[in-house]
């Protein structure tokens, strides 16, 4: 079969390994591959594929050579068992006999050395990682689809086989591919990967290679085949047999695909967990004086980091370079001569840099989360703007200055235009300052946190809204009484631009927190929110619909406070990335990017303050304000009814509610007087214009 089964095998190392477990695994893998190749080459006692039989001989001879490097207790019996298997191959014995011989010798080898001959990955291999590795390491020879038609493979002898042959590879297994990747094939151009790729990557590559020959997945995967370890050693033929009569290749493909997770976030988190563990192990071993082991652990940490190094470098080249330097320093100092304080400092530096790297490559806020946040911001800020405009218009009508609504429109238009200009200027500043990007992003998010806290924190916003409304009302009264177009437009401008500036700031922070994939969901949220606001505006102004504003603002305030909590954690992380804030790691603390939670003291302090203030506000509402309101309502309910005016005397007796009635009357009088003043001013202007025309 033209070396189809010799697809992914590594060349034999030039120097013998002193690690008996590694040698034992190489021996077992070579023997097992020999048995697989022999079964393909011999059917019913006859050789049907001479090339496969020859490969079986090569694998067994290589296994014998490696077995001689085993400890004495295992070397002799293993070599003898391999020679018996080789004798069966030479005599064209039954494939089952070769399988049995190989199984017996590998079981004896594992028992005598007490080693696990097949190293399984801790997590299900990543299909995405396998695809990336295949394109990088294998596609030049095997082709992008694994058909053996790569440009670099055309001149190879023997040529690279096709990995997309579903019939010819019925006996292939992910384990077999893994063993080939780990060990190699003599006489081919296949490079060695045992020292180039860690175990997880070799398994990921093996799993991906196993899917290249599969059909489109269909059907439901049986529960017994939903774990990777259960099917990693099974061939396609064995899986089809286990699925039962009538099983299709689509169902087989579903089993293979079920094992290969595309959860890259989990894979990345696992990589960084491994790296941190190896760094900690290295410093601990160095502190114990085991410098050789400490250096090895430091190297393992760097080797594990290599899985994500390219992703880090593509986003933050300077950070990737710093990490490489830190790993090199750790390896050098772990070899001896470093004090405990120096080792702790190196570990702390690496921990901070790894935290930044993990945030860069794995922080992915879900599109749904971004859409909902964007929608809520647009609805909250947009509805506030609509209510402000409506209040201004109503005020003009109440004071008899409805003819000056055009001035309000001028102010609103200017506010919207300046809000858009503010967004453009903010983007321009970011574009012109790439060297301080993290610091600028951090301070932008800090500003957003401050404004979000200001508008959503109940105890503060209630007092400030009253002050702001009073300020706007005073400006409007001055503008109406003064008759200046600019004064009235500026009052409307101040009221609306405040909301516009907040909106620009919030959305900039939201884009920053969402990363590169935030554009579509955030813009969709803006679009949907705008449509809803247009409907609300028409409903209010044309049909007089009254909205339940109290529950609406309660819900949106809570949501904006949640957004402030998320932004607070991310703002601290950005400032740490820009070296504006220190990074103090919290070992064992959870990492939840969607909530802005990171395992650093600084980010947790910032979010802790917001959480504490939220508890205070809730305590005030439920433990102080509500009991007070209940007492007040009860007192009002028990109070005697206000006395009615005596029609004969024409006076009003003293009693509850009189002051409010008088104030309402005075306000109406004030409005009427303002309307009269406005009408007088208009008449005066008309008379003056008429006199000018006559003259």
* Confidence check: pLDDT of 418 > 50: yes
Residue 135 CB neighbours (<10 A): 12
Same domain, yes or no: 139 and 107: no
Going 337 to 340 to 345 to 348, the CA torsion angle's sign is positive
Q: Are residues 355 and 491 in the same domain?
A: no
In a domain, 346, yes or no: yes
Q: Are residues 179 and 105 in the same domain?
A: no
Q: Which two tokens stand for residue 664?
A: 């309402």
Same domain, 243 and 307: no
User: How confident is the prediction for the chain on average, in pLDDT?
Assistant: 76
Which pLDDT band holds residue 451 (cuts at 50, 70, 90)? confident
SS3 label, residue 261: strand
Q: Is residue 246 part of a domain?
A: yes
Find the range with the poorest average confidence among 69-83, 174-188, 635-649, 659-673. 659-673
pLDDT confidence bin for 433, thresholds 50/70/90 = low
- pLDDT band at 18; cut points 50, 70, 90: very low
Indicate which CATH number applies to the domain containing 157.
1.10.760.10
Domain count, the chain: 5
Question: What is the pLDDT averaged over residues 672-682?
Answer: 53
Residue 1: band (very low, low, confident or very high) from pLDDT cuts 50, 70, 90: very low
Please tell me which residue, 472 or 447, carries the higher pLDDT value: 447
Domain check: are 235 and 344 in the same one? Answer: no
- The residue among 302, 329, 362 that closes a domain is 362
Q: Are 389 and 496 in contact (CB under 8 A)?
A: yes
- Residue entry with tokens 């009508």: 397
What pLDDT, in 10s, does the model give residues 645-662?
A: 444 344 433 444 444 444
Q: Give mean pLDDT, residues 578-597.
A: 77
- Cβ atoms of 198 and 307 closer than 8 Å: yes
Q: Which comes out higher in pLDDT, residue 246 or 635? A: 246
pLDDT digits (tens, 9 = 90+) for 105-121: 888 888 888 887 877 77
Least confident segment among 152-156, 435-439, 543-547, 570-574: 435-439
354 shares a domain with 382: no
d(Cα 133, Cα 125) in Å, to the nearest integer? 12
φ, ψ of residue 251 in degrees (nearest 5): -70, -40
Residue ranges making up the domain that contains 170:
127-259
Evaluate whether residue 578 is within a structural domain: no
Residue 394 and residue 672 in contact, taking contact as beta carbons nearer than 8 Å: no
What's the rounded mean pLDDT across residues 32-56? 85
Same domain, 373 and 517: yes
Give CA–CA dist 421/425, Å, rounded: 6
Q: Is residue 574 part of a domain?
A: no
Distance CA 640, CA 452 (A): 45
* Residue 591 falls inside a structural domain: no
Is 80 exceeded by the pLDDT of residue 694? no
Quick: pLDDT tens for 335-393.
888 888 888 888 888 888 888 888 877 766 677 878 888 888 888 888 877 877 777 77
208 and 354 in a single domain? The answer is: no
Domain termination site, one of 347, 362, 377: 362
Q: What is the DSSP string of 40-58?
A: HHEETTEES-HHHHHHHHH
Give percent of the chain above pLDDT 70: 76
Residue 126's SS3 state is strand
Does 10 score more than 60 pLDDT? no
- In a shared domain, residues 489 and 511: yes
Please write down the HEC assignment for all residues of 393-432: HHHHHHCCCHHHHHHHHHHHHHHHHHHHHHHHHHHHHHHH
- Same structural domain for residues 156 and 201? yes
Last-in-domain residue among 362, 388, 405: 362
216 and 307 in a single domain? The answer is no
Residue-wise pLDDT tens digits, 262-311: 455 666 777 888 888 888 889 889 888 888 888 888 888 887 887 777 77
Task: Please report how the helices 458-482 and 485-514 are oriented relative to each other, as an axis angle in degrees rounded to 10.
Answer: 150
Give residue-wise pLDDT tens across range 190-246: 776 877 788 888 888 888 988 888 888 888 888 778 777 778 888 888 899 998 888
Q: What is the DSSP string of 52-119?
A: HHHHHHHHHHHHHHHHTTS-HHHHHHHHHHHHHHHHHHHTT--HHHHHHHHHHHHHHHHHHHT--SS-
Q: What is the average per-residue pLDDT within 607-618?
A: 85
Report pLDDT for 410: 85
131 and 101 housed in the same domain: no
pLDDT of residue 613: 84
Identify whether 615 is part of a domain: no
DSSP conformational letter for 401:
-
Q: What is the pLDDT of residue 267?
A: 66
| Contact (CB, 8 A) for 522 and 372 | no
Spatial separation of the C-alpha atoms in residues 589 and 591, rounded to whole Å: 7
Q: Is residue 461 part of a domain?
A: yes
pLDDT at residue 122 in the model? 64
Rg over alpha carbons for the chain, rounded to the nearest Å, is: 38
Is 539 a member of any domain?
yes
């Amino acid at each position: 079969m033209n070396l189809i089964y010799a697809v992914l095998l590594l060349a034999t190392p030039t120097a013998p390994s002193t690690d008996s477990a590694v040698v034992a695994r190489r021996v077992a893998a070579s023997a097992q591959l020999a048995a697989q190749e022999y079964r393909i080459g011999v059917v019913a006692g006859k050789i049907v594929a001479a090339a496969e039989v020859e490969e079986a001989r090569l694998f067994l001879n290589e296994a014998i050579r490696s077995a001689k490097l085993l400890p004495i207790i295992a070397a002799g019996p293993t070599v003898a068992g391999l020679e018996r298997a080789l004798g069966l191959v030479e005599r064209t014995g039954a494939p089952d006999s070769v399988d049995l011989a190989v199984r017996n010798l590998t079981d004896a080898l594992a028992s005598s050395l007490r080693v696990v001959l097949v190293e399984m990955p801790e997590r299900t291999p990543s299909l995405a990682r396998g695809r990336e590795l295949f394109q990088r390491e294998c596609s030049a020879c095997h082709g992008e689809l694994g058909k053996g038609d790569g440009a670099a493979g055309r001149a190879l002898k023997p040529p690279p086989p096709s990995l997309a042959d579903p019939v010819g590879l019925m006996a292939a297994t992910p384990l077999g591919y893994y063993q080939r990747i780990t060990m190699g094939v003599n006489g081919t151009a296949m490079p060695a990967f045992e020292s180039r790729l860690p175990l997880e990557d070799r398994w990921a590559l093996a799993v991906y290679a196993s899917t290249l020959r599969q059909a489109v997945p269909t059907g439901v995967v049986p529960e017994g085949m939903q774990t990777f370890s259960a099917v990693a050693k099974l061939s396609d033929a064995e899986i089809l047999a286990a699925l039962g009569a009538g099983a299709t290749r689509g169902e087989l493909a579903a089993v293979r695909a079920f094992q290969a997770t595309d959860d890259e976030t989990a894979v990345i988190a696992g990589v960084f967990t491994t790296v941190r563990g190896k760094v900690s192990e290295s410093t601990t071993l160095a502190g114990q004086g085991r410098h050789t082991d400490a250096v090895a652990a430091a190297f393992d940490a760097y080797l594990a980091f290599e899985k994500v190094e390219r992703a880090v470098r593509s986003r933050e080249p300077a950070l990737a370079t710093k990490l490489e330097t830190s790993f090199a320093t750790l390896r050098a100092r772990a070899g001896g001569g470093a004090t405990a304080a120096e080792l702790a400092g190196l570990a702390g530096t690496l921990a901070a840099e790894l935290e930044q790297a993990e945030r860069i490559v794995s922080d992915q806020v879900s599109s749904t989360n971004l859409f909902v946040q964007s929608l809520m911001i647009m609805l909250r800020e947009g509805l506030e703007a609509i209510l402000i405009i409506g209040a201004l218009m109503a005020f003009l009508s109440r004071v008899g200055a409805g003819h000056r609504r055009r001035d309000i429109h001028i102010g609103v238009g200017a506010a919207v235009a300046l809000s858009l200009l503010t967004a453009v200027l903010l983007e321009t500043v970011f574009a012109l300052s790439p060297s301080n990007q993290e610091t600028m992003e951090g301070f932008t998010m800090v500003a957003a946190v401050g404004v979000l806290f200001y508008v959503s924190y109940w105890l503060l916003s209630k007092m400030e809204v009253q002050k702001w409304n009073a300020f706007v009302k005073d400006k409007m009264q001055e503008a109406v009484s003064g008759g200046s177009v600019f004064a009235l437009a500026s009052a409307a401008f101040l009221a609306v631009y405040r909301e516009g500036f907040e909106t620009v700031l919030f959305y900039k922070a939201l884009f920053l927190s969402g990363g590169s994939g935030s554009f579509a969901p955030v813009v969709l949220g803006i679009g949907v929110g705008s449509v809803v606001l247009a409907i609300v505006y028409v409903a209010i102004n044309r049909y007089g619909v009254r909205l339940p504003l109290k529950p609406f603002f309660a819900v949106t305030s809570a949501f904006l406070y949640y957004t402030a909590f998320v932004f607070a954690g991310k703002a601290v992380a950005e400032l740490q990335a820009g070296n504006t804030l220190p990074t103090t790691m919290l070992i064992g603390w959870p990492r939840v990017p969607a909530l802005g939670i990171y395992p650093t003291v600084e980010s947790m302090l910032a979010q802790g303050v917001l959480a504490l203030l939220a508890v205070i506000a809730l305590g005030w509402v439920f433990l102080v304000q509500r009991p007070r309101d209940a007492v007040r309502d009860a007192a009002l309910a028990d109070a005697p009814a206000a006395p009615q005016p005596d029609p004969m005397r024409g006076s009003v007796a003293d009693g509850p509610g009189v002051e409010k009635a008088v104030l309402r009357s005075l306000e109406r009088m004030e409005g009427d007087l303002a309307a009269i003043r406005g009408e007088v001013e208009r008449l005066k202007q008309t008379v003056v214009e008429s006199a000018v025309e006559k003259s």
